[in-house]
């Protein structure tokens, strides 16, 4: 072995050495927990006698059988909240990016300001706002615009609105990032080529901003469908989402394998959903989204 080989070897190893901390991080904080939960989901036993890995695939059937309703409800609520986030967040991002002028950053800060307050606290204040005799409903009832028995709390819309409210910035920010970088000349080119303002938007701005919407959907749909705080605080007993079920199984019933298998069912459904969604949107868009 000659002397000049040595530096070449280290040069080849350098990239691997450099990414090693990242791999280690992933291994410790992602792979290990996932593996733990996965093996837990296939165990049987109870808290007092201990759990043992018995490849209990029946856990999954039991989880789906018992809680398919909550799982489905979570997905529906998550989807509704995500759609709501798009409907509110897209115009918001558009306005800041195209009309914000010199105050863009101020508007963004305003949007993020509620995020400085604890998530749970925000949801609870939302509860106070929507209370049957609270500021909004109370006033409307007072001036006779709503019947006395009208309510919002403890209903599905309350949960969906709460979710949309809490996760709105996760939609606005990626959409804003794409719109902000968009070349205005491209929009002008569309106007120049006989597209009115609406056509210019639907044919050029919207398609070009889809990568941002894609990222926003992932960043709102996943946490909203797994959330349980909103459902607990705003939804009452009849609107339980799967996050609450997992919490109960884990902390109240101590049914660890059950909690783990519900977790995996949810994860699987979300992953399938996202891949299907990516396929439908076209892989190059997703590549674009991740490349930006």
Q: Least CB distance from residue 182 to other proteins, whole Å?
A: 10
Q: Least CB distance from residue 197 to other proteins, whole Å?
A: 8
Packed helices 283-291 and 206-226: angle between N→C axes, nearest 10 degrees: 80
d(CA 289, CA 292): 6
d(CA 140, CA 148): 9
In the complex with other proteins, the residue whose CB is nearer, 199 or 279, is 199
In the complex with other proteins, the residue whose CB is nearer, 94 or 165, is 94
Q: How far is C-alpha 165 from the chain's CA centre?
A: 12
In the complex with other proteins, the residue whose CB is nearer, 270 or 289, is 289
Packed helices 58-99 and 256-281: angle between N→C axes, nearest 10 degrees: 50
In the complex with other proteins, the residue whose CB is nearer, 147 or 196, is 196
Nearest to 175, CA basis, from 282, 85, 281, 114 = 85
Q: Least CB distance from residue 66 to other proteins, whole Å?
A: 46
In the complex with other proteins, the residue whose CB is nearer, 16 or 194, is 194
d(CA 205, CA 199): 9
Q: Least CB distance from residue 196 to other proteins, whole Å?
A: 5
C-beta separation of 74 from 266 below 8 A? yes
Where do contacts with other proteins occur on this chain (CB under 8 A)? 183, 185-186, 188-196, 199-200, 203-204, 207-208
Q: Least CB distance from residue 190 to other proteins, whole Å?
A: 7
């Amino acid at each position: 072995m000659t002397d000049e080989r040595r530096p070449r070897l280290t040069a080849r190893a350098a990239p691997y050495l450099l990414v090693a901390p990242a791999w280690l991080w992933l291994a410790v904080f992602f792979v290990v927990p996932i593996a733990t939960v996965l093996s837990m989901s296939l165990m049987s036993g109870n808290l007092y006698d201990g759990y043992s890995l018995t490849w209990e695939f029946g856990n999954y059937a039991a989880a789906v059988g018992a809680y398919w309703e909550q799982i489905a409800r979570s997905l529906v609520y998550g989807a509704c909240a995500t759609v709501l986030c798009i409907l509110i967040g897209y115009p918001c991002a558009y306005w800041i990016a195209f009309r914000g002028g010199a105050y863009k950053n101020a508007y963004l800060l305003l949007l993020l300001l509620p995020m400085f307050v604890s998530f749970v606290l925000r949801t609870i204040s939302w509860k106070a706002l929507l209370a049957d005799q609270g500021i909004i409903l109370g006033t409307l009832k007072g001036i006779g615009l709503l019947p006395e028995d009208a309510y919002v709390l403890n209903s599905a819309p309350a949960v969906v609105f709460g979710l949309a409210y809490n996760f709105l910035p996760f939609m606005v920010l990626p959409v804003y990032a794409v719109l902000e970088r968009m070349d205005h000349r491209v929009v002008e080119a569309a106007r120049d080529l006989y597209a009115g303002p609406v056509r210019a938007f639907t044919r050029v701005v919207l398609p070009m901003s889809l990568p941002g919407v894609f990222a926003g959907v992932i960043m709102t749909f996943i946490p909203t469908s797994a959330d349980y705080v909103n459902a607990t605080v705003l939804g009452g007993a009849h609107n339980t989402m799967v996050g609450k079920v997992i919490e109960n199984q884990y902390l109240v019933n101590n049914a660890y394998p059950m909690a783990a298998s519900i977790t995996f069912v949810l994860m699987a459904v979300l992953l399938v959903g996202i891949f299907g969604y990516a396929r439908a949107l076209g892989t190059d868009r997703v590549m674009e989204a991740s490349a930006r």
